[in-house]
Amino acid sequence: MATKLAALVVLAAFLAGPAACKGAIMCFNGWLRLPTYNQSFGFRPKKTKSVRNSSIPFGPGLGHGYYDNRWSRLYCPRAEGIVRGAVRDAVAAYPGIGAGLIRLFFHDCFVRGCDASVLLTTTNSNNSDTEREGLPNKNSLRRFEVIDAAKAAIEAACPGKVSYANIVAFAARDASYFLSNRRINIRMPGGCYDGRESFANKTDQLPGPFSNVTELQASFVAKGLTSDEMVTLSGAHTIGRARCMFFSSRFSEMDPTFAAKLRTSATATTTPM
């Protein structure tokens, strides 16, 4: 677990805020269960299938420089460099991409471990209601294309050697590296295997933007994280953008000058990390 905590230091997700689940809109662990749009029938509630599936523990065997051992069948010394190059090029084109990669890693790790299950669209169980379709992720998670570009380049250099799970982790690390002007350089361990199962209803573990402090603490305690670690992880919200709907209810609680600035910004279209 300690290894996972070191990796999670670079992560981000939408956290904090007063509870705001009233009326016909139901709560989803601090997320508003908003209606989804269907072109044929208009707005209707999103339904998720209940699947019984126990959590997968974060396994042993991780290590730094995991792909650098020339005696290993997974030897791929260029792996981390290739990922860093892909992230560097993407962030140079648009810095907001870095925040999206950090958030992608957090949403992967917080649900069933750092196994890239958040990338799946179909699973071994042949279900399509994967984590990508879960309320906190659907039409919200971004930057899959950077992961795909890094994976394609690695496959060209070392076919079948590097898992998606490690690419997602390395990309988040490298995003924090470039966004901090190369001041943050975390030693990210490698060796994660890709998951083969993914379920939308499992994303209710993710802390939501309308969770209160007690709910947030409970979410992190369930993952073995302390309140101090929760605050540290939440600090990643100093980068990226958020949808106005997630913070507009708190304008009255903010500094008036800052609130006025946010109100002006909220009139324009904004995108999440």
163/214 same-domain check: yes
154/267 same-domain check: no
**Is 9 flagged in the annotation as binding?**
no
Expressed as residue numbers, the domain containing 88 is 2-240
82/58 same-domain check: yes
95/162 same-domain check: yes
Give the residue with greater pLDDT, 36 vs 123: 123
**Which is the catalytic residue, given 4, 103, 107, 112?**
107
- Give the CA diameter of the chain: 61
Q: Is the pLDDT of residue 158 over 70?
A: yes
CA distances from 95 to 3, 90, 183, 260, 273 (A): 28, 8, 16, 25, 10
**Is 111 flagged in the annotation as binding?**
yes
247/147 same-domain check: no
pLDDT, tens digit (0-9, with 9 covering 90-100), for 134-153: 999 998 899 999 999 999 99
Rounded to whole angstroms, the Cα distance separating 196 from 204 reads 19
**Is 215 flagged in the annotation as binding?**
no
**Is 57 flagged in the annotation as binding?**
no
Give the residue with greater pLDDT, 30 vs 243: 243
**Is 269 flagged in the annotation as binding?**
no
159/252 same-domain check: no
**DSSP structure string for the chain:** -HHHHHHHTT------------TTSPEETTEE---EEETTTEEE---------PPPP--S--BTTGGG-TTSTT--TTHHHHHHHHHHHHHHH-THHHHHHHHHHHHHHTTTSSSSGGG-SS-TT-----GGGSTTTTTT---HHHHHHHHHHHHHHSTTTS-HHHHHHHHHHHHHHHHTTT-------B-PPPPS---GGGGGGS--TT--HHHHHHHHHTTT--HHHHHHHHGGGGSS---GGGTGGGGGGS-HHHHHHHHHHHTS-----
pLDDT, tens digit (0-9, with 9 covering 90-100), for 50-61: 333 333 333 457
246/269 same-domain check: yes
pLDDT, tens digit (0-9, with 9 covering 90-100), for 219-256: 999 999 999 999 888 777 777 777 777 778 888 888 99
Residue 200 near residue 139, CB atoms below 8 Å: no
Of the listed ranges 29-38, 233-242, 254-263, the least confidently predicted one is 29-38
C-alpha gyration radius of the chain: 19
Whole-structure pTM value: 0.75
Of the listed ranges 32-41, 84-93, 168-177, the least confidently predicted one is 32-41
CATH number of the domain enclosing 211: 1.10.520.10
Look up 64 and say whether it is catalytic: no
247/234 same-domain check: no
Rounded to whole angstroms, the Cα distance separating 88 from 177 reads 9
208/271 same-domain check: no
200/263 same-domain check: no
Q: Give me the number of domains the chain comprises.
A: 2
69/166 same-domain check: yes
148/263 same-domain check: no
